[in-house]
Structures are given as structure tokens and as C-alpha cells.
Amino acid sequence: MIVLGIESSCDDTSVSVLKDGHILSVAVNTQLEHIQFGGVIPEIASRAHLKNFPEVLEKALSDSGLILNDVDAIGVTYGPGLVGPLLVGVNFAKGLAYSLKVPVVPVNHIEGHIFANFIDHPEIEYPFIVLVVSGGHTEIVFVPESEKYELCGKTRDDAAGECIDKVSKMLGLGFPGGRIMDEYAKSGNKDFEFFPRGMKNSHDFSFSGLKTSLKYYIDKHDKEFIKSNLNNIAASFMDSVTDSLADKLIRAAKKHNCRTVLLAGGVSANSMLREKITAQSVKKGLKFFYPQPKYCTDNAAMIAMSAFKKIQKYGIEKFSFDSELDAVPFLPLSE
């Protein structure tokens, strides 16, 4: 069974080839057009996907050693995400599926992030608790069985990734800030300054107060001080973000008496977050899984894996070429 995965929900154009549950290749073009604006511009992203898809498809196919005619099914992200970018990916998938006469498997982007864990860890068993943490989402989900999702808590304002990106910009470290902040924090002292932890006693998250407190902190100190303490400030800030994320995940696992915890989404590549959850998991005897960094941020391998899991569960006959398939920008995880 060869599945082609297609992802374009934000600013990464990606195609992946999967064979019998194993990823053969994944090609990603992360659009650099947005750096000068300090954020993703939807129309520029849509046009860049339009231009990039043929090249990214070529790369994924040549790296896999297969040809287009080998493909048995196409998995594509149809939401949630930016509507223009999603439409380009859905239409590209439909065009390919129409000409190849193969079925399309529609995939929820967030479900894709969760299934990314199965790429390197097919041994993961249900039930599990997963922290989905990206630029657009921060939520804890209890997953009792395949494709059943119960929301345990979510952000009331900013997503963690959004907050990290904004603070990185305030500190003059650039966009997107996650990886840069991670690197600075590694050489910093996390006890340099204490920043608040939002909604400490709730299952939900809040990051906007933390963002504001960073803004006050930066305004209060002179530029030279900030510049010479970037690593310490990054470490203290990331300590606050990761304390909230790790504590609530472990608490949710306890509440549901669940022995397995997972990370999903771009921020799950963060080293401090992984270290904290690893330490807590060891202490509490939990199994802890997370995807390798290239499968944490947006990629089509997670979409191919989700499509494969659905084909395994329901059979290929359940899926067809659906000319009605459309982009759904606010698609919920479970309906």
C-alpha cells in the first residue's frame, strides 16, 4: 500500500511517500517569503504553495524511488488552517487523484500531528493523553481509542507557539522564534528572572499575561542589558511556558489514570519541554513518546501516516474520489 501525503495548511509545502506504514520520503519547502513580515501572510502563502507543489512532489517521489503511478491513495490536510493554503493542497490532491484514479483520504491537521508519533513508535497503545502544542493550538486531549478525542483543557488566549514567536520578535531574535528561543535558552540560566505561570490551578492555559509581562520587562531595562542577557531571559521565559505545559499534561494523565503521554505539534520539538516531561514521566512511571523534530513541525509524513491508519481501520473501499471535498479552516478535532 503506497500512500502519498499532502500538507499545506500554513507556510510549509510538503509531500511524503509512505509504503506499508513506513515513511520512504518527506519533502518540505518552508516558505521564507514571510520572514520580512514577521508573520505568515495568507495570500503570499497560497501563491507560494501553488508554485512549490510540483517541485516538492518531484523531490518526494525521487527520494522514495517510486513513480506517481505506484500511488494507491492520497491523504491530504483539509483543515484546520489558512483557507487559501488549504485550498491549494486540496485541489492539488484532487487533481492527482482524478488523473491516477485513486481515492482521497481527508485528514485533520491536528490529528496528523498526533499520528506523527506512530511514525517512529508503532508500539504506542491506547489510551493516551496528548499535548498538542503548535503555533495555532495548545490543548490537552484524552484519546481512549483510535480517532476518539476528549478535550481536557485548552488555551483561553494565545497558543504557546504564538506566544514564543511574539516574544522572540520583541527580543529582536526573529521569526519564527521557537527554534531560536530554544537555542538561546540552552546556554541561559532559567532562574535569572521569574515570569508568571498563567492559570496555575486550571486545566486550561493562558499565555497572554506572560507575553505582557515580558513586554514590561523589556521596556523596563535598557537595550544593552537585554542584549547581553538574551540567553538568560530566553531560558527564564521558556521555563515559564514549559512549566505550564508539562505540569498540566502530567496532571491530566493522573486525572484519567492514563499511563502513556504524548507530545504533538511544532513546540513539541522544544528541548526544555521534553526534558521536563521526561523527568516527570520517570518519576511517575509513565511512558512518554514524542516525534523526532522533523515530524513535530508541519510535514506531510504525518498526513500520509494518518491516511494509512484510516485505510487500515476502515478498508480502502471506504474511500473514493470525492469531487465535493473542500477546505475547512476551523475544522474541529472531533465533531
Burial 80-97 (b: 16+ CB within 10 A, else e): bbbbbbbbbbbbbbbebb
Q: Is 29 in the site for ligand KG4 (CB under 6 A)?
A: no
Q: Is 158 in the site for ligand KG4 (CB under 6 A)?
A: no
Cβ neighbours of 122 (radius 10 Å): 10
Nearest residue to 332 (alpha-carbon basis) of 146, 155, 137, 161: 137
**Pairing mode, if any, of strands 287-289 and 260-264?**
parallel
Q: Is 10 in the site for ligand KG4 (CB under 6 A)?
A: yes
Nearest residue to 252 (alpha-carbon basis) of 148, 108, 132: 132
- Taking phi first (over 0 means left), then psi (-120 to 50 degrees means alpha), and beta for anything else, what does residue 256 get? alpha
State CA 297 to chain mean position distance.
5
Task: List the one residue from 64, 266, 288, 311 that touches ligand KG4 (CB under 6 A).
Answer: 266
Contact partner at residue 267 from ligand KG4, Zn ion, none, CB < 5 to 8 Å by partner kind: ligand KG4
- Whole-number minimum distance, CB 234 to Zn ion, in Å? 23
Question: In the window 177-216, what residues touch ligand KG4 (CB under 6 A)?
Answer: 177-179, 182
Q: Footprint of Zn ion on this chain (CB under 5 A)?
A: 134, 298
Contact partner at residue 84 from ligand KG4, Zn ion, none, CB < 5 to 8 Å by partner kind: none
Contact partner at residue 85 from Zn ion, ligand KG4, none, CB < 5 to 8 Å by partner kind: none
Q: How large is the C-alpha radius of gyration of the chain? A: 20
How many whole angstroms separate alpha carbon 197 and alpha carbon 236? Answer: 11
- Whole-number minimum distance, CB 263 to ligand KG4, in Å? 11
- Whole-number minimum distance, CB 267 to ligand KG4, in Å? 4
- The site for ligand KG4 (CB under 6 A) is made up of 10, 134-136, 161, 164-165, 176-179, 182, 265-267, 269-270, 297-298
